[in-house]
Structure 1
Amino acid sequence: MTFTDLELAAKKKRTRREIFLTEMDQVMPWAQLEAVIDPVYPKPGNGRRPYPLSAMLRVYCLQHWYSLSDPAMEESLYEIASMRQFAGLSLDAIPDETTLLNFRHLLEKHQLTHALFTAIHQHLCDKGLMLKQGTIVDATLIHAPSSTKNAQGERDPDMHQTKKGNQWYFGMKAHIGVDAQSGLVHHVAGTPANVADVTMVDQLLHGEEIDVFGDAGFAGVHKRAEHQSRAVRWWIAMRPGQRKALTDSADDRQ
């Protein structure tokens, strides 16, 4: 145990970050996740000794949970003791931003991010945290630089522009299926930003739902051919332009 560990243990008040990281340390299936990556992770040899896989995986998770870039993650590990403790790192052995980038590229190269998500999802199902009776479908825009001032002189070909309200956006869209009871995500799909939300619903359902909930962007989903055989109840919000002031009439109360 380091002096930092002793200081954290002696604190009278625990921060929300410390509480969250303690919970994640206990509930995440770390052994299963490491087993997914281990076959392709560098082994000690003649070159520089790699950081422990457990540490790199935990840092990777920290980046996602706190939306940190590689440089910001490196600085946070130096500055925030609770993050270092969670990752099992010490001040004299902090991975730099290039190491963090290379680890992410390793996962992308071997297409392991989906396997990691699947392992977490299965773990939640095994623990009975996914009730599967209802799914909330949603989508969010993820901004990408629209400038062409780069080495290729062009925008990212996988990104696209779309209009939401009166504003234009350039980037991609993350489509998610969420367990209505627990709030846990069970399906994720990424597309260019101009892909309509309603066209992705088929990839966000696990097939055991009784109810499906969505905002007005999913209007008409029940009419699509891919859902005609689904025995579900669709709860889709009405488009703003179709709403009217509610009255006390029986029709409006239904």
Structure 2
Amino acid sequence: MIYEQLSFSSLRWPAARLSNLQLLLDRIDLAVDFSPLADELSPHFPGPGRGRRPWPLNAMIRIVVAGIVLKLNPRQLEDLLIDHPGLCEWCGLDDSQPRPPDSETIAAFIRKLAKMGREDAIPAHLTRQLSDWNLRLVPGSSIEPRLHGREL
């Protein structure tokens, strides 16, 4: 028998409904494939090797997407990652680790994209992929960000 390891958030409230944010992120997951974007950006970002281990590129892309969806700055994103285990799980971060990426790490990632002239790569990819599903993102707060369009 194969057992799936549960995250801390699923152990904390096993019978709870998904939050509006988790529902939105799950819908984005259905509509958006982040792997082509990660493949395009990966030559410009360090991979695992000697020295300090970098945060996974897919996680950083998803963190930036969360910032776009919720209209958050890097400091607010760091706070939300600390407070919201479901967001950590969606981003591919292990919430049992000592900490998520801090605000300076998130800001440095965004600055590096800008330095490469690719600051619009993530928002453009998100918009393009959502439009393929006839969806349009209306960014908002963590209370009511929405996707408008047909059901997935």
Q: TM-score, normalised by structure 2?
A: 0.73
Work out whether residues 31 and 129 of structure 2, in 8 Å CA contact, stay in contact via their aligned partners in 1: no
- Cα shift readout 1:59-81 (whole Å, capped 9, x = no counterpart): 11111111222222111111111
Q: Which residue among 99, 102, 111 is the counterpart of 2:108?
A: 102
Work out whether residues 65 and 122 of structure 2, in 8 Å CA contact, stay in contact via their aligned partners in 1: no
Q: What one-letter code is carried by the residue in structure 2 that aligns with 1:129?
A: N
> Highest CA radius of gyration, 1 or 2?
1
Which residue is equivalent to 1:47? 51
- Cα shift readout 1:113-132 (whole Å, capped 9, x = no counterpart): 3344444454356x3638xx
- Where does the alignment leave 5 or more consecutive residues of structure 2 unmatched? 136-147
Alignment of 1:160-179 (within 5 A): none
Change in 2 beyond 3 A, CA 1:52/1:121 = same
Q: How far apart in 1 are the matches of 2:124 and 2:73? A: 24
More helix by share: 2
Aligned residue-pair number: 131
For the aligned residues, what is the CA RMSD? 2.4
Change in 2 beyond 3 A, CA 1:98/1:115 = closer
- Where does the alignment leave 5 or more consecutive residues of structure 1 unmatched? 131-180, 183-254
Change in 2 beyond 3 A, CA 1:8/1:17 = farther
Answering whether residue 134 of structure 2 is matched by residue 129 of structure 1, we say yes
Work out whether residues 18 and 82 of structure 1, in 8 Å CA contact, stay in contact via their aligned partners in 2: yes
More strand by share: 1
Which residue is equivalent to 2:120? 114
Alignment of 1:1-254 (within 5 A): 1-7=5-11, 10-91=14-95, 92=97, 93-124=99-130, 127=132, 129=134
